[in-house]
Amino acid sequence: MSAVTTDRSAAPVLQLDNVGFSYGNVHALRDVSINVRQGEVTCVLGDNGAGKSTLIKIIAGLHDYTDGAMKLDGVECRFASPRAAQAGGIATVYQDLALAPLMSVWRNFFLGNELRKGPLRTLDIARMKRICDEELTKMGVVIPDLDRPVGGLSGGQRQCIAIARAIYFGARVIILDEPTAALGVKQSSVVLRYIVKARDAGLGVIFITHNPHHAYLVGNHFVILKLGRVVLDAHRDALTLEQLTREMAGGQELEELSHELSGVDPGRVAAPAEVAPGHVESPVLNPDELAAIEREEEEEQTA
Amino acid sequence: MTAAAIEPSRGEAARDDRVAHRPLAARLLSRPEVGSLIGAIVIFALFMAVAPPFRNVANVGTILYGASTIGIMAVPVALLMIGGEFDLSAGVAVTTSGLSASLLAWNFGLNVWVGILLALVVSVAVGAFNGWLLFKTGLPSFLVTLATFFILQGVNLGVTRLLTGNVATADITDMDGFHSAHTMFGSEVTVGPVTLKITVLYWVVLTLVAAYVLLRTRVGNWIFAVGGDAAAARAVGVPVKATKIGLFMAVGFCAWLSGMHLLFQFNTVQSGEGVGKEFIFIIAAVIGGCLLTGGYGSVVGASIGALIFGMTQLGINYAGWNPDWFKTFLGVMLLLATIVNVYVKKKADLR
């Protein structure tokens, strides 16, 4: 357990008050209120299409919200671009990592934050390579040649580069979008430890995930999104892993699902048969389910 | 994880060990210029063998002049391609620039230098317009600049005929400021047996400056990034629009330089000139290792591509071959250089 006790009276660095995002007649987010404090890990959980990606795009300055208010240090703000969000001290690790595949490791690491020296403002390549190497070594990532393009590296290595970059430059708040989704057990553990390190250093961490086990290992505060709304907002004290997992799995919905699937006879082995095209029967979906699936897909398109 | 506790000095030592794993030769071979360099050496050797006048040192100036007129444009076109965009209007933009300077100076009775400055404004504005249109419409630059290509082509002919009743501009030799401008854009220097046009100097300087900007400055990093993945670049705070519009304006600037040479070399500009040149610039850049999809390439490579053009153009003449085959020869060169680029890069990256 964490030895750091959270001062819940501390003013949040980032505050979302009933923030909404709509385009056309689709409401991707509605009435989302979240408080992010420095020195805390705020976990945002949700199924595909719950609006997690839309939420971080708003905080990171890629989308502008359409309702409510976002406050940085208590002052209402709208980020015109990711650069503006970065200037406000918010760094983001996107799910697609935002790395240019043909550029070398160190060029990607310092992209947008290049170090320069001398009267000609030349790139300080030696220093950038050294820092990049140090930061990656700290994460346990060994890349033999920092001049290699990142496109040729493994998913885990790329993930680590993106995280190391955000932690290195993230001044106050760091957003991690599904950082463990593509990783193995070992690398996930490194990433989770990094989240703790970032918290201990005093950063506010927003950890987006759909894995309640990972979230519960490091989170101070949990927010579950479903279909663009906050359905749970609880502090760690008020929640057990079982409750979180159940809430995340859909709670009541899971019960409904088990009821619906009760007739499937999961242990049954069917007789082998060659199936002619179009001869697998489709499951019967009720109109509610169809509407929910359609919504999820719309959500994913916005994200 | 014990790695977090590693002191920096150990990380440093570990890095040095690991760098050694990739041999120098492999790293050199994975440079984007490699295909063009091999091509240039082969072409050079070929014409040295079959074309006696090619061996004459006095002809170096002529070959470099041919290369420089293409190189001055191939350099910014390569930067633009690395930044992920095309400019099909680059060829006729050169003519537009020459015409602007000549027509403005002649028709308003201005000093030639005023015409030159106005042409600079026109050229850079055409580049900025291309970039602005790209973001305004969201269309691919191939289409946007194809439109500009046709628009400029028509304007070149139409305006020239309207103002002069002719398809070429009037001779400006006797106008104020002509001689100093001619020195600036059309003079030549004799070094021993070699006579070098001033365009060769501009070409070399442009190549060096552009290579420096691309590899050693922040803007260069941004150029690679906006061409490699514009969305990723934007997400980490790179000003994508400004970078791309700036690249189009750089093409405009070089079109002006090229156009001024055209004007002061011949004292008059044919309004129909420049069509088809845009592809030659793009081909030089591609031979030099630029990817059509952006995010990868080299300025030095593009200049070597231009040199290949210069050598081939004259080499065919010197060898006494029928110049009708020049284009066929180029097509084969383009194909070979690109195949070598891809092949060598794959080999080098595997090591």
Complex ipTM value: 0.82
Task: Tell me if B232 and A130 make a contact (CB, 8 A cut-off).
Answer: no
Say yes or no: B248 contacts chain A, CB-CB below 8 A. no
Taking chain B, what is the end-to-end CA distance rounded to the nearest angstrom? 29
**DSSP designation for A261:** G
The CA-based dihedral angle spanning residues A193, A194, A200, A201, taken in that order and rounded to the nearest 10 degrees: 160
How confident is the model over A175-199, as a mean pLDDT? 85
Q: Where are the domains of chain B?
A: 32-346
Taking one residue from A and the other from B, the number of pairs with CB-CB distance under 8 angstroms is 116
Range of weakest confidence among A154-158, B227-231, B249-253, B255-259: A154-158
Is residue A81's pLDDT more than 80?
Answer: yes
Q: Is residue A178 within 8 Å of A192, Cβ to Cβ?
A: no
Q: Is residue A28 within 8 Å of A302, Cβ to Cβ?
A: yes
> Two tokens at B337?
């250089």
Strands A173-177 and A204-209: parallel
The CA-based dihedral angle spanning residues A35, A40, A41, A46, taken in that order and rounded to the nearest 10 degrees: -20
Task: Tell me if B224 and A86 make a contact (CB, 8 A cut-off).
Answer: no
Using CA atoms, how far residue B195 sits from A179, B25, B187, in Å, is 62, 37, 10
How confident is the model over B139-152, as a mean pLDDT? 95
**DSSP designation for A237:** G
Say yes or no: B241 contacts chain A, CB-CB below 8 A. no
Strands A204-209 and A41-46: parallel
Say yes or no: A185 contacts chain B, CB-CB below 8 A. no
Task: Tell me if A116 and B239 make a contact (CB, 8 A cut-off).
Answer: no
B28-62 pLDDT tens trace: 777 888 878 888 998 899 999 999 888 888 889 99
Range of weakest confidence among A27-41, A218-232, A261-275, B224-238: A261-275
From chain A, pick out residues whose CB is under 8 angstroms from the CB of B11: 133-134, 137-138
Q: Is residue B289 within 8 Å of B297, Cβ to Cβ?
A: yes
Task: Tell me if B239 and A147 make a contact (CB, 8 A cut-off).
Answer: no
Q: How many Å is the maximal CA-CA distance in chain A?
A: 78
- Who contacts B311 (Cβ-Cβ below 8 Å, separation ≥6)? B40, B43, B44, B47, B63, B67
Options 1.20.20.10, 3.90.1150.10, 3.40.50.300, 2.60.130.10; CATH for A26-102+154-253+295-302 is 3.40.50.300
Say yes or no: B24 contacts chain A, CB-CB below 8 A. no
How confident is the model over A128-141, as a mean pLDDT? 88
pTM: 0.84
From chain A, pick out residues whose CB is under 8 angstroms from the CB of B234: 62, 81-82
CA–CA separation, B295 vs B345, rounded Å? 15
Say yes or no: A158 contacts chain B, CB-CB below 8 A. no
**DSSP designation for A114:** -
pLDDT for res B49:
93
Q: Is residue A113 within 8 Å of A123, Cβ to Cβ?
A: no
> How open is the CA angle B121-B274-B95, to the nearest 5 degrees?
25
Say yes or no: A196 contacts chain B, CB-CB below 8 A. no
| Neighbouring C-alpha atoms within 13 Å toward the C-beta of B56 | 14
Task: Tell me if B221 and A114 make a contact (CB, 8 A cut-off).
Answer: yes
Say yes or no: A171 contacts chain B, CB-CB below 8 A. no
Q: What phi and psi values does residue A92 have, to the nearest 5 degrees?
A: -130, 135
Is residue B164's pLDDT more than 70?
Answer: yes
Using CA atoms, how far residue B179 sits from B94, B186, B260, B268, B280, in Å, is 21, 10, 13, 14, 31
How confident is the model over B50-76, as a mean pLDDT? 93
Is residue B176's pLDDT more than 70?
Answer: yes
Task: Tell me if A125 and B218 make a contact (CB, 8 A cut-off).
Answer: no
Say yes or no: A301 contacts chain B, CB-CB below 8 A. no
Q: Is residue B304 within 8 Å of B40, Cβ to Cβ?
A: yes
Say yes or no: B238 contacts chain A, CB-CB below 8 A. yes
Is residue B1's pLDDT more than 70?
Answer: no
* Mean confidence (pLDDT) of chain A: 84
Task: Report the gap between the CA of B5 and the closest CA in chain A (Å).
Answer: 7
Say yes or no: A4 contacts chain B, CB-CB below 8 A. no
Please report which confidence band the pLDDT of residue B350 belongs to, taking 50, 70 and 90 as the band edges. Answer: low
Task: Report the gap between the CA of A138 and the closest CA in chain B (Å).
Answer: 5
Residue of B6, B7, B12, B15 to mutate for A, most A C-beta atoms under 10 A: B15
Say yes or no: B217 contacts chain A, CB-CB below 8 A. yes
Give, for B146, the enclosing helix (H) or strand (E).
helix B141-164
pLDDT for res B7:
42
pLDDT for res A169:
83
CA–CA separation, B96 vs B104, rounded Å? 12
A250-282 pLDDT tens trace: 666 666 767 777 767 777 788 888 888 888 888
Per-range mean pLDDT, top range of A71-85, A172-186, B82-96: B82-96
* Mean confidence (pLDDT) of chain B: 88
pLDDT for res A254:
66
The CA-based dihedral angle spanning residues B285, B288, B290, B296, taken in that order and rounded to the nearest 10 degrees: -140
Q: What percent of chain B has pLDDT over 90?
A: 63
Please report which confidence band the pLDDT of residue B13 belongs to, taking 50, 70 and 90 as the band edges. Answer: very low
Please report which confidence band the pLDDT of residue A151 belongs to, taking 50, 70 and 90 as the band edges. Answer: confident
pLDDT for res A87:
86
pLDDT for res A8:
53
Task: Tell me if B1 and A99 make a contact (CB, 8 A cut-off).
Answer: no
Strands A122-123 and A116-117: antiparallel
From chain A, pick out residues whose CB is under 8 angstroms from the CB of B217: 116, 121-123
pLDDT for res B133:
96
CA–CA separation, A133 vs B11, rounded Å? 7
CA–CA separation, B24 vs A110, rounded Å? 25
Alpha helix stretches (DSSP H) within chain A? 52-60, 82-87, 105-109, 125-138, 155-169, 185-200, 212-218, 241-249, 252-260, 287-302
Nearest to A138 among B3, B217, B239 (CB): B3
Q: Where are the domains of chain A?
A: 26-102+154-253+295-302
Please report which confidence band the pLDDT of residue A240 belongs to, taking 50, 70 and 90 as the band edges. Answer: confident
Task: Tell me if B12 and A103 make a contact (CB, 8 A cut-off).
Answer: no
Residues forming a β-bridge with A230: A225
Is residue A1's pLDDT more than 50?
Answer: no
pLDDT for res B271:
92
Q: What phi and psi values does residue A170 have, to the nearest 5 degrees?
A: -70, 115
Task: Report the gap between the CA of B4 and the closest CA in chain A (Å).
Answer: 5
Say yes or no: B196 contacts chain A, CB-CB below 8 A. no
3-state secondary structure of B292: coil
Q: What phi and psi values does residue A141 have, to the nearest 5 degrees?
A: -100, 125
- Who contacts A197 (Cβ-Cβ below 8 Å, separation ≥6)? A167, B4
Task: Report the gap between the CA of B213 and the closest CA in chain A (Å).
Answer: 9
- Closest residue by Cα to residue B175 from B260, B267, B100, B94: B267
Options 2.40.128, 1.10.287, 1.10.3470, 2.60.40; CATH for B32-346 is 1.10.3470
Residue of B236, B240, B291, B350 to mutate for A, most A C-beta atoms under 10 A: B236
> Two tokens at B270?
């044919």
Task: Tell me if B11 and A138 make a contact (CB, 8 A cut-off).
Answer: yes
Please report which confidence band the pLDDT of residue A49 belongs to, taking 50, 70 and 90 as the band edges. Answer: confident
From chain B, pick out residues whose CB is under 8 angstroms from the CB of A116: 217-218
Q: Which residue type, as a one-letter code, is found at position B114?
A: V
Say yes or no: A30 contacts chain B, CB-CB below 8 A. no
Range of weakest confidence among A7-16, B207-216, B232-241: A7-16
pLDDT for res B12:
43
> Two tokens at A10?
């501390």
Please report which confidence band the pLDDT of residue A299 belongs to, taking 50, 70 and 90 as the band edges. Answer: low
How confident is the model over B86-111, as a mean pLDDT? 95
From chain B, pick out residues whose CB is under 8 angstroms from the CB of A122: 216-217
> Two tokens at B32?
């984007």
| Minimal-distance CA residue of chain B relative to A165 | B236
User: Which one is predicted more confidently, B255 or A64?
Assistant: B255
Nearest to B6 among A101, A121, A138 (CB): A138
Nearest to A107 among B15, B224, B235 (CB): B224
User: Which one is predicted more confidently, B126 or A233?
Assistant: B126
Strands A173-177 and A90-93: parallel
Say yes or no: A130 contacts chain B, CB-CB below 8 A. yes
Q: Is residue A32 within 8 Å of A209, Cβ to Cβ?
A: no
> Two tokens at A26?
């689709």
Task: Tell me if B217 and A139 make a contact (CB, 8 A cut-off).
Answer: no
Relative orientation angle of helices B240-266 and B90-107, to the nearest 10 degrees: 60
3-state secondary structure of A15: strand
Nearest to A98 among B11, B18, B235 (CB): B235
Is residue B9's pLDDT more than 60?
Answer: no
Task: Tell me if A82 and B236 make a contact (CB, 8 A cut-off).
Answer: yes
Q: What percent of chain A has pLDDT over 70?
A: 90
> In chain B, where do the E strands start and end?
188-191, 194-197
Q: What percent of chain A has pLDDT over 90?
A: 19
Is residue B10's pLDDT more than 70?
Answer: no
Say yes or no: A62 contacts chain B, CB-CB below 8 A. yes
| Minimal-distance CA residue of chain A relative to B293 | A102
Q: Which residue has the tokens 């230098």?
A: B113
From chain A, pick out residues whose CB is under 8 angstroms from the CB of B237: 81-83, 86, 112-113
User: Which one is predicted more confidently, A157 or B180?
Assistant: B180
Is residue B173's pLDDT more than 80?
Answer: yes
Burial A147-183 (b: 16+ CB within 10 A, else e): bbbbeebeebbbbbbbbbbbbbbbebbbbbbbbbeeb
A84-133 pLDDT tens trace: 888 888 988 888 778 888 899 999 999 988 999 988 899 999 999 999 99
Residues forming a β-bridge with B191: B194
